Protein backbone atom coordinates (compact mmCIF):
# COMPACT_ATOMS: atom_id res chain seq x y z
CA UNK A 1 0.00 0.00 0.00
CA UNK A 2 1.40 3.39 -0.96
CA UNK A 3 1.83 5.74 2.00
CA UNK A 4 2.85 9.39 1.66
CA UNK A 5 6.47 9.91 2.67
CA UNK A 6 6.22 13.45 4.02
CA UNK A 7 4.52 13.72 7.40
CA UNK A 8 4.30 16.58 9.87
CA UNK A 9 6.53 16.04 12.87
CA UNK A 10 5.12 15.12 16.29
CA UNK A 11 5.70 18.66 17.48
CA UNK A 12 2.78 19.64 15.26
CA UNK A 13 0.37 17.37 17.13
CA UNK A 14 -0.24 19.49 20.22
CA UNK A 15 -3.49 19.39 22.15
CA UNK A 16 -4.54 22.78 20.83
CA UNK A 17 -4.84 21.20 17.40
CA UNK A 18 -6.67 17.97 18.20
CA UNK A 19 -9.93 19.25 16.80
CA UNK A 20 -8.33 19.81 13.40
CA UNK A 21 -6.24 16.62 13.36
CA UNK A 22 -8.83 15.05 11.08
CA UNK A 23 -8.48 17.91 8.60
CA UNK A 24 -4.72 17.51 8.51
CA UNK A 25 -4.84 13.70 8.39
CA UNK A 26 -7.10 13.92 5.37
CA UNK A 27 -4.23 15.47 3.41
CA UNK A 28 -1.99 12.40 3.88
CA UNK A 29 -4.48 9.52 3.84
CA UNK A 30 -5.94 7.80 0.78
CA UNK A 31 -9.47 9.14 0.34
CA UNK A 32 -11.16 5.79 0.98
CA UNK A 33 -9.14 5.21 4.15
CA UNK A 34 -10.03 8.64 5.51
CA UNK A 35 -13.71 8.13 4.78
CA UNK A 36 -13.68 4.71 6.44
CA UNK A 37 -12.25 6.11 9.67
CA UNK A 38 -14.32 9.29 9.72
CA UNK A 39 -17.74 7.96 8.77
CA UNK A 40 -20.71 7.45 11.04
CA UNK A 41 -23.82 5.43 10.29
CA UNK A 42 -26.93 6.53 8.39
CA UNK A 43 -27.36 10.31 8.74
CA UNK A 44 -24.32 10.55 11.07
CA UNK A 45 -26.35 12.34 13.73
CA UNK A 46 -24.78 10.48 16.67
CA UNK A 47 -21.31 10.90 15.21
CA UNK A 48 -21.88 14.63 14.87
CA UNK A 49 -23.17 15.16 18.41
CA UNK A 50 -20.34 13.49 20.31
CA UNK A 51 -17.91 16.38 20.74
CA UNK A 52 -20.56 18.96 21.60
CA UNK A 53 -21.91 16.76 24.38
CA UNK A 54 -18.65 17.16 26.30
CA UNK A 55 -18.26 20.83 25.47
CA UNK A 56 -21.75 21.56 26.78
CA UNK A 57 -20.77 20.74 30.37
CA UNK A 58 -19.73 23.60 32.65
CA UNK A 59 -17.38 23.39 35.62
CA UNK A 60 -17.38 24.83 39.13
CA UNK A 61 -13.66 25.02 39.97
CA UNK A 62 -12.47 24.88 43.57
CA UNK A 63 -10.01 27.49 44.83
CA UNK A 64 -7.36 27.65 47.55
CA UNK A 65 -6.45 24.00 47.13
CA UNK A 66 -2.84 22.86 47.02
CA UNK A 67 -2.24 22.18 43.35
CA UNK A 68 1.52 22.71 43.41
CA UNK A 69 1.92 19.09 42.33
CA UNK A 70 -0.45 17.31 39.96
CA UNK A 71 -0.59 13.55 39.49
CA UNK A 72 -2.66 12.38 36.51
CA UNK A 73 -1.86 8.70 37.09
CA UNK A 74 -4.54 6.04 37.51
CA UNK A 75 -4.69 2.31 38.14
CA UNK A 76 -6.87 0.10 35.95
CA UNK A 77 -7.31 -3.59 36.77
CA UNK A 78 -3.99 -3.62 38.59
CA UNK A 79 -2.01 -1.68 35.98
CA UNK A 80 -0.61 1.75 36.80
CA UNK A 81 -0.81 4.28 33.95
CA UNK A 82 0.50 7.81 33.56
CA UNK A 83 -2.94 9.16 32.73
CA UNK A 84 -6.55 8.05 32.33
CA UNK A 85 -6.32 8.42 28.53
CA UNK A 86 -6.13 5.13 26.63
CA UNK A 87 -5.97 4.20 22.96
CA UNK A 88 -9.26 2.51 22.12
CA UNK A 89 -9.80 -0.27 19.57
CA UNK A 90 -9.87 0.95 15.97
CA UNK A 91 -9.47 -1.19 12.88
CA UNK A 92 -7.01 -1.47 10.00
CA UNK A 93 -4.13 0.76 11.14
CA UNK A 94 -2.02 -0.17 8.15
CA UNK A 95 -4.36 1.98 6.09
CA UNK A 96 -3.06 4.93 8.13
CA UNK A 97 0.61 4.01 8.43
CA UNK A 98 2.85 1.35 6.94
CA UNK A 99 3.77 -0.01 10.39
CA UNK A 100 0.15 -0.21 11.47
CA UNK A 101 -0.66 -1.34 14.98
CA UNK A 102 3.00 -1.93 15.88
CA UNK A 103 3.61 1.81 15.53
CA UNK A 104 0.47 2.58 17.50
CA UNK A 105 1.52 0.21 20.27
CA UNK A 106 5.01 1.70 20.45
CA UNK A 107 3.58 5.21 20.63
CA UNK A 108 1.15 4.29 23.39
CA UNK A 109 3.85 2.51 25.38
CA UNK A 110 6.16 5.54 25.18
CA UNK A 111 3.35 7.68 26.61
CA UNK A 112 3.00 5.29 29.55
CA UNK A 113 -0.59 4.35 28.96
CA UNK A 114 -2.56 1.40 27.52
CA UNK A 115 -3.63 0.12 24.11
CA UNK A 116 -6.83 -1.80 23.38
CA UNK A 117 -5.91 -3.79 20.28
CA UNK A 118 -8.70 -4.22 17.77
CA UNK A 119 -9.61 -7.72 16.65
CA UNK A 120 -9.61 -6.10 13.19
CA UNK A 121 -5.90 -5.32 13.49
CA UNK A 122 -3.62 -5.61 10.47
CA UNK A 123 -0.62 -6.80 12.49
CA UNK A 124 -0.30 -10.07 14.36
CA UNK A 125 -0.86 -9.87 18.14
CA UNK A 126 2.66 -11.18 18.69
CA UNK A 127 4.14 -8.33 16.64
CA UNK A 128 2.08 -5.76 18.48
CA UNK A 129 2.98 -7.24 21.86
CA UNK A 130 6.68 -6.82 21.15
CA UNK A 131 6.20 -3.07 20.74
CA UNK A 132 3.50 -2.56 23.37
CA UNK A 133 3.40 -1.77 27.02
CA UNK A 134 0.28 -3.03 28.79
CA UNK A 135 -2.49 -3.92 26.34
CA UNK A 136 -5.98 -5.36 26.23
CA UNK A 137 -7.60 -7.20 23.36
CA UNK A 138 -10.95 -6.36 21.83
CA UNK A 139 -13.25 -9.27 21.02
CA UNK A 140 -16.22 -9.55 18.71
CA UNK A 141 -18.05 -12.81 19.42
CA UNK A 142 -18.41 -14.28 15.94
CA UNK A 143 -20.92 -16.70 14.44
CA UNK A 144 -18.07 -19.19 14.18
CA UNK A 145 -17.18 -19.56 17.86
CA UNK A 146 -14.03 -21.47 16.94
CA UNK A 147 -12.66 -18.39 15.22
CA UNK A 148 -13.37 -16.37 18.37
CA UNK A 149 -11.64 -18.99 20.51
CA UNK A 150 -8.53 -18.96 18.31
CA UNK A 151 -8.33 -15.18 18.40
CA UNK A 152 -8.69 -15.10 22.17
CA UNK A 153 -6.15 -17.85 22.78
CA UNK A 154 -3.66 -16.11 20.54
CA UNK A 155 -4.14 -12.78 22.34
CA UNK A 156 -3.76 -14.44 25.74
CA UNK A 157 -0.57 -16.20 24.64
CA UNK A 158 0.81 -12.88 23.35
CA UNK A 159 0.29 -11.19 26.72
CA UNK A 160 -3.06 -9.37 26.69
CA UNK A 161 -4.03 -8.39 30.23
CA UNK A 162 -7.79 -8.13 29.71
CA UNK A 163 -10.45 -8.65 27.05
CA UNK A 164 -12.89 -6.01 25.82
CA UNK A 165 -16.09 -7.60 24.52
CA UNK A 166 -17.78 -5.23 22.09
CA UNK A 167 -21.53 -5.85 22.25
CA UNK A 168 -23.19 -3.01 20.33
CA UNK A 169 -22.59 -4.46 16.86
CA UNK A 170 -24.79 -7.52 16.30
CA UNK A 171 -25.10 -6.21 12.75
CA UNK A 172 -23.20 -3.54 10.82
CA UNK A 173 -25.55 -0.78 9.60
CA UNK A 174 -25.14 1.33 6.45
CA UNK A 175 -22.33 3.85 6.67
CA UNK A 176 -21.07 6.63 4.49
CA UNK A 177 -18.31 4.23 3.43
CA UNK A 178 -20.64 1.50 2.17
CA UNK A 179 -19.43 0.28 -1.22
CA UNK A 180 -15.98 1.85 -0.96
CA UNK A 181 -12.98 -0.21 -2.01
CA UNK A 182 -10.77 0.19 1.05
CA UNK A 183 -7.00 0.33 0.50
CA UNK A 184 -6.20 -2.67 2.72
CA UNK A 185 -2.71 -4.14 2.33
CA UNK A 186 -2.51 -6.97 -0.19
CA UNK A 187 -1.10 -9.26 2.49
CA UNK A 188 -3.91 -8.35 4.88
CA UNK A 189 -2.98 -10.11 8.11
CA UNK A 190 -6.47 -9.68 9.49
CA UNK A 191 -7.49 -12.65 7.35
CA UNK A 192 -4.33 -14.69 7.72
CA UNK A 193 -4.11 -14.41 11.50
CA UNK A 194 -7.24 -16.48 12.04
CA UNK A 195 -7.18 -18.51 8.87
CA UNK A 196 -10.42 -17.23 7.37
CA UNK A 197 -11.55 -14.50 4.98
CA UNK A 198 -13.45 -11.50 6.28
CA UNK A 199 -16.32 -12.12 3.88
CA UNK A 200 -17.07 -15.63 5.12
CA UNK A 201 -20.32 -15.94 7.13
CA UNK A 202 -18.47 -17.23 10.19
CA UNK A 203 -16.59 -13.93 10.48
CA UNK A 204 -19.78 -11.94 11.10
CA UNK A 205 -20.77 -10.97 14.63
CA UNK A 206 -23.13 -13.39 16.36
CA UNK A 207 -26.50 -11.60 16.76
CA UNK A 208 -27.76 -14.22 19.23
CA UNK A 209 -25.17 -13.28 21.89
CA UNK A 210 -26.42 -13.08 25.49
CA UNK A 211 -25.08 -12.20 28.93
CA UNK A 212 -23.62 -15.67 29.38
CA UNK A 213 -20.91 -14.72 26.84
CA UNK A 214 -19.16 -12.68 29.55
CA UNK A 215 -18.52 -15.68 31.79
CA UNK A 216 -17.76 -17.92 28.80
CA UNK A 217 -15.12 -15.48 27.63
CA UNK A 218 -13.63 -15.25 31.11
CA UNK A 219 -13.42 -19.05 31.41
CA UNK A 220 -11.93 -19.31 27.93
CA UNK A 221 -9.18 -16.80 28.66
CA UNK A 222 -8.68 -16.57 32.41
CA UNK A 223 -8.65 -12.78 31.92
CA UNK A 224 -10.95 -10.03 33.22
CA UNK A 225 -13.63 -9.07 30.70
CA UNK A 226 -14.86 -5.53 30.15
CA UNK A 227 -18.05 -4.97 28.16
CA UNK A 228 -17.94 -2.17 25.58
CA UNK A 229 -20.94 -0.52 23.96
CA UNK A 230 -23.15 -0.01 27.01
CA UNK A 231 -25.42 3.05 27.16
CA UNK A 232 -28.14 1.94 29.62
CA UNK A 233 -27.88 1.70 33.39
CA UNK A 234 -29.87 -1.54 33.53
CA UNK A 235 -27.63 -3.16 30.92
CA UNK A 236 -24.55 -2.07 32.86
CA UNK A 237 -25.87 -3.63 36.07
CA UNK A 238 -26.73 -6.84 34.25
CA UNK A 239 -23.24 -7.05 32.73
CA UNK A 240 -21.58 -6.64 36.11
CA UNK A 241 -23.91 -9.22 37.65
CA UNK A 242 -22.92 -11.59 34.83
CA UNK A 243 -19.24 -11.22 35.66
CA UNK A 244 -17.96 -8.14 33.82
CA UNK A 245 -14.86 -6.62 35.42
CA UNK A 246 -15.70 -3.24 33.91
CA UNK A 247 -18.03 -1.40 31.57
CA UNK A 248 -17.20 0.89 28.67
CA UNK A 249 -19.84 3.48 27.82
CA UNK A 250 -19.81 3.89 24.07
CA UNK A 251 -22.03 4.38 21.04
CA UNK A 252 -19.29 3.00 18.78
CA UNK A 253 -18.23 6.41 17.57
CA UNK A 254 -21.66 6.94 16.03
CA UNK A 255 -21.03 3.99 13.69
CA UNK A 256 -23.83 1.69 14.88
CA UNK A 257 -27.35 2.87 15.82
CA UNK A 258 -27.70 6.43 14.59
CA UNK A 259 -29.49 8.79 17.00
CA UNK A 260 -28.25 6.74 19.96
CA UNK A 261 -27.59 8.94 22.98
CA UNK A 262 -24.08 10.33 23.31
CA UNK A 263 -21.62 8.67 25.63
CA UNK A 264 -21.36 11.86 27.68
CA UNK A 265 -25.11 11.83 28.31
CA UNK A 266 -25.24 8.11 29.11
CA UNK A 267 -22.22 8.04 31.41
CA UNK A 268 -23.62 9.41 34.71
CA UNK A 269 -26.47 6.90 34.99
CA UNK A 270 -24.23 3.97 34.08
CA UNK A 271 -21.58 4.99 36.62
CA UNK A 272 -24.20 5.40 39.34
CA UNK A 273 -25.75 2.03 38.53
CA UNK A 274 -22.58 -0.06 38.86
CA UNK A 275 -21.00 1.78 41.79
CA UNK A 276 -17.49 2.98 42.53
CA UNK A 277 -15.92 -0.48 42.79
CA UNK A 278 -16.45 -1.28 39.11
CA UNK A 279 -14.32 0.69 36.61
CA UNK A 280 -16.41 2.58 34.07
CA UNK A 281 -14.62 3.83 30.98
CA UNK A 282 -16.01 5.97 28.19
CA UNK A 283 -15.23 6.89 24.59
CA UNK A 284 -16.71 9.08 21.89
CA UNK A 285 -15.83 12.67 21.03
CA UNK A 286 -13.18 13.26 23.71
CA UNK A 287 -10.97 15.87 22.08
CA UNK A 288 -9.21 17.79 24.90
CA UNK A 289 -7.85 17.25 28.36
CA UNK A 290 -10.75 19.31 29.70
CA UNK A 291 -13.10 16.80 28.10
CA UNK A 292 -11.23 14.14 30.08
CA UNK A 293 -11.74 16.13 33.29
CA UNK A 294 -15.48 16.33 32.56
CA UNK A 295 -15.62 12.59 31.87
CA UNK A 296 -13.98 11.79 35.20
CA UNK A 297 -16.36 14.17 36.97
CA UNK A 298 -19.29 12.36 35.34
CA UNK A 299 -18.09 9.04 36.78
CA UNK A 300 -15.54 7.59 34.35
CA UNK A 301 -12.32 6.02 35.59
CA UNK A 302 -10.66 6.60 32.20
CA UNK A 303 -11.40 7.54 28.59
CA UNK A 304 -10.52 5.87 25.31
CA UNK A 305 -9.54 7.73 22.16
CA UNK A 306 -10.53 6.36 18.78
CA UNK A 307 -10.22 8.55 15.71
CA UNK A 308 -7.63 10.99 17.19
CA UNK A 309 -5.15 8.12 17.57
CA UNK A 310 -5.61 7.13 13.93
CA UNK A 311 -5.15 10.73 12.79
CA UNK A 312 -1.98 11.07 14.89
CA UNK A 313 -0.68 7.76 13.54
CA UNK A 314 -1.25 8.90 9.97
CA UNK A 315 0.50 12.21 10.59
CA UNK A 316 3.43 11.12 12.71
CA UNK A 317 3.63 7.36 13.20
CA UNK A 318 4.57 6.13 16.67
CA UNK A 319 5.99 9.53 17.62
CA UNK A 320 2.72 11.16 16.60
CA UNK A 321 0.72 8.82 18.84
CA UNK A 322 3.05 9.52 21.77
CA UNK A 323 2.81 13.26 21.20
CA UNK A 324 -0.98 13.08 21.09
CA UNK A 325 -1.27 11.16 24.35
CA UNK A 326 1.35 13.32 26.06
CA UNK A 327 -0.53 16.43 25.04
CA UNK A 328 -3.79 15.07 26.45
CA UNK A 329 -1.99 14.39 29.72
CA UNK A 330 -0.52 17.89 29.80
CA UNK A 331 -3.88 19.50 29.09
CA UNK A 332 -5.57 17.33 31.74
CA UNK A 333 -2.92 18.30 34.28
CA UNK A 334 -3.53 21.98 33.60
CA UNK A 335 -7.32 21.58 33.76
CA UNK A 336 -7.05 19.68 37.05
CA UNK A 337 -4.87 22.37 38.59
CA UNK A 338 -7.25 25.13 37.51
CA UNK A 339 -10.20 23.14 38.89
CA UNK A 340 -8.50 22.62 42.26
CA UNK A 341 -7.74 18.90 41.87
CA UNK A 342 -4.30 17.44 42.53
CA UNK A 343 -5.13 13.85 41.49
CA UNK A 344 -7.97 11.97 39.79
CA UNK A 345 -9.41 10.98 43.18
CA UNK A 346 -10.23 14.68 43.73
CA UNK A 347 -12.43 14.79 40.63
CA UNK A 348 -16.12 14.18 41.28
CA UNK A 349 -19.58 15.36 40.27
CA UNK A 350 -19.29 18.35 42.60
CA UNK A 351 -17.10 19.97 39.95
CA UNK A 352 -19.99 20.10 37.50
CA UNK A 353 -22.46 22.94 37.34
CA UNK A 354 -25.93 21.47 37.82
CA UNK A 355 -27.33 23.53 34.97
CA UNK A 356 -25.03 21.92 32.40
Nearest-Å Rg of the Cα atoms of the chain is 19
In whole angstroms, what is the distance from residue 184 CA to residue 194 CA? 17
- Neighbour count for residue 60 (Cβ, 10 Å): 13
Q: Tell me whether residue 55 is exposed, middle or buried, using C-beta atoms within 10 angstroms of its C-beta: 0 to 12, 13 to 18, 19 or more.
A: middle
- Dihedral angle sign, alpha carbons of residues 87, 91, 94, 100: positive
Alpha helices (H) in the chain, listed in sequence order: 21-26, 31-38, 45-55, 100-111, 125-131, 145-158, 189-192, 212-221, 233-241, 263-274, 289-297, 307-339
In whole angstroms, what is the distance from residue 239 CA to residue 225 CA? 10
- Neighbour count for residue 249 (Cβ, 10 Å): 32
Helix/strand/coil for 355: coil
Active centre residues (catalytic) = 252
Would you tell me the crossing angle of helices 307-339 and 100-111 to the nearest 10 degrees? Answer: 10
- For 242-302, give the DSSP string: TT-SEEEE--GGGTSSTTPPPHHHHHHHHHHHH-TTS-EEEESS--SHHHHHHHHHTT-SE
Amino acid sequence: MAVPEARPGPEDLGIRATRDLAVRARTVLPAAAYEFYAAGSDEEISAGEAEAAWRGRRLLPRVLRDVSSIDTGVELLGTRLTSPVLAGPTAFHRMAHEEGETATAAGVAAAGTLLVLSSRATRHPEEVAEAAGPWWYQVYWLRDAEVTRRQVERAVAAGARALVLTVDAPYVPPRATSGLALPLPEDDELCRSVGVGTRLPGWEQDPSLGLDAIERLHRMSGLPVLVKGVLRADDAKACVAAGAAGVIVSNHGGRQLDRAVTSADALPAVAAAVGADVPVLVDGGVRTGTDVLVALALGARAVLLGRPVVWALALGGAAGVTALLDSYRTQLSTAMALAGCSCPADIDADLLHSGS
